[in-house]
Structure 1
Amino acid sequence: MRRLRRDRPAQRHRPVAGGDEVARRQAAACDPGIAFMVEEVLAADDRVALRWRTRGSAAGPAGPLPVEIGGLSIAHIEDGQATRIWDAWDKLGLLQQLGHVPRELDPAAMR
């Protein structure tokens, strides 16, 4: 298996003990009904990649709106701890679900 290129961040992030549980509690404080699902896990050498999806609700002008967001996270593992994490998630999809951006683009507006 091909080894991933190592980057050298300007600032090293230290792992937080119980960090995943802290993130779950913070998300639940925003929306007690939030659900976080890991859909796929890939691991190679000192990297772990997760494909995930979260469902919950967000405050909207007419009350709570159901939202669903998908994303990817890649973690660099050292001594059994995630020392760096990179996240990418569907920000445009969230803005569309909240009504801030039209779901379909008008081709005439793109000319």
Structure 2
Amino acid sequence: MSTQTLKELARRELLAWNEGRIEVIDEIFAPTYVNHFTGETPAALKQKVAAVRAAFPDVQVAIDDQMVEGDRVVSRWTARGTQEGEFVGAPATHKRMEQTGISIMRVQEGKIVEGWSRADELGLLQQLGLLPATP
């Protein structure tokens, strides 16, 4: 696959996050997909997207930078939204958040087959007031 095609495949995931089009996950992820950092499978990813969109109905994820090396796509991204629903057991705070992260996806035969993702979970919880800010 071309560099541009790999980037576009990774960007299609944004349709799930930004528009709630969860069916996109089945279209772009292989059934055997696993995220090696989170353990997520496609089914778990769909549940996560639905939960995040319920907690942050205005969530928008933007890709800030993207690189391709061989069969891997690396995306540096930023998610922004307002907590209007329950999140990690906490009621709505109505606070805005901005979370950054990096995802690496390996593509085989037009599908994402494995991934590695990290996000600033600590910063997110601090912004929502669910954990104290560090000095």
Establish whether TM, by shorter chain, passes 0.5. yes
Secondary structure, aligned partner of 1:95? helix
More helix by share: 2
Paired positions, count: 90
Inter-partner Cα distance in structure 2 for 1:47 and 1:92: 27
Inter-partner Cα distance in structure 2 for 1:61 and 1:17: 33
TM-score, reference length from structure 1: 0.66
Provide the aligned C-alpha RMSD in A.
2.8
Q: What is residue 57 of structure 1 aligned with on the other side? A: 82
Q: What is residue 79 of structure 1 aligned with on the other side? A: 109
Specify the code of the residue in structure 2 equivalent to 1:103.
A
Is the 2:28–2:112 Cα contact (8 Å) retained in structure 1? no
- Runs of 4+ in structure 1 off by over 4 angstroms are 59-62
Secondary structure, aligned partner of 1:96? helix
Q: What is residue 92 of structure 1 aligned with on the other side? A: 122
* Structure 1 alignment gaps of length 5 or more: 1-14, 106-111
TM-score, reference length from structure 2: 0.55
Q: 1:16 deviation in Å?
A: 2.7
Write out per-residue CA displacement over residues 1-49 of structure 1, whole angstroms, 9 at most, x where no aligned residue.
xxxxxxxxxxxxxx732569x68x7243433311110001100101110
Answering whether residue 64 of structure 2 is matched by residue 34 of structure 1, we say no
Structure (1 or 2) with the larger CA radius of gyration: 1
Is the 2:93–2:128 Cα contact (8 Å) retained in structure 1? no
Inter-partner Cα distance in structure 2 for 1:39 and 1:88: 15
More strand by share: 1
